[in-house]
Amino acid sequence: MCTFSKVLLAITVFSWTPIVTAILPLTDRVLGVVQQRPLCPARPASPEFQRAASTEFISEIFFEPNGVTESFDNFISPDYIQHSPFLLSGCNNTLSVLLSASTNVNITILQIMFDSPYGMVHYRFQAPNSTAIAFMDLWRFNGTCIEEHWDVTETFPENATNPIALF
C-alpha cells in the first residue's frame, strides 16, 4: 500500500459530474466475487470489473476529497511502473508529487476509455494563472490492480492556428 497523510489535499473542481457513484466494495459479477479494497496486490478480475474500477479510480483521484491519497492506497501498485518523464517508479514517488502540485486546479474530463487491460483519460488541466494543459493518461491493469502508467501532455500554444486545438 502507498500510504501518506490523508489531510494534505483538496482539489477544487467545477467541471465534471462523476459518471459512476462509488459502490464499496465493488462486486465482480462475472467472477462472482466481491473485490475488497485495497485492490493491490493484483488478484484475478474480469474486464468488466476493470472497466468499473478504472472509472472509479478516475472519479476518485480527481473529484473526491483526499481522493489522490485514497485512490493511490486502493488502486495503485506499490511497485507502480511510471513512464512520466519527471517521476520515478514506485507509488510514493508519484503520490508525493501529486499531493504537492494539484491544489486549486480545474479538471475537465473530455474522454474516458477502457479496453482491458488499459484505461485512458483525456482532460483539460487548468492551474491558476497558467496556460491550460491537455493530458492523456494511460494505465495498465493487472487483474484488480493498476501497475503501470504513461502520460502525454501538451500546453496550449500561444498562437494556435486551430480554433479547436487540444480540446
Ligand X SMILES: *[C@@H]1O[C@H](CO)[C@@H](O)[C@H](O)[C@H]1NC(C)=O
Enumerate binding residues for ligand X (CB under 6 A). 2-3, 14, 41-42, 78, 90-92, 105-106, 126-129, 142, 147, 158-159
**Cα 114 from Cα 143, distance rounded (Å):** 14
- Closest CB to ligand X: residue number: 78
Please name which of 116, 112, 128, 135 lies closest in space to residue 57, comparing C-alpha atoms.
112
CB nearer ligand X, residue 22 or residue 81: 81
CB nearer ligand X, residue 11 or residue 52: 11
CB nearer ligand X, residue 58 or residue 107: 107
CB nearer ligand X, residue 120 or residue 127: 127
CB nearer ligand X, residue 59 or residue 69: 69
Listed in sequence order, the DSSP H helices in 34-139 are: 47-63, 67-75, 91-101
Shortest distance, position 1 Cβ to ligand X, whole Å: 7
Shortest distance, position 9 Cβ to ligand X, whole Å: 15
**Cα 154 from Cα 55, distance rounded (Å):** 23
C-alpha grid cell, residue 61: 483521484
Shortest distance, position 44 Cβ to ligand X, whole Å: 9
**Cα 130 from Cα 148, distance rounded (Å):** 29
Shortest distance, position 87 Cβ to ligand X, whole Å: 14
C-alpha grid cell, residue 156: 496550449
Please name which of 107, 155, 108, 104 lies closest in space to residue 133, comparing C-alpha atoms.
155
**Cα 96 from Cα 113, distance rounded (Å):** 26
Shortest distance, position 108 Cβ to ligand X, whole Å: 9
C-alpha grid cell, residue 96: 508525493
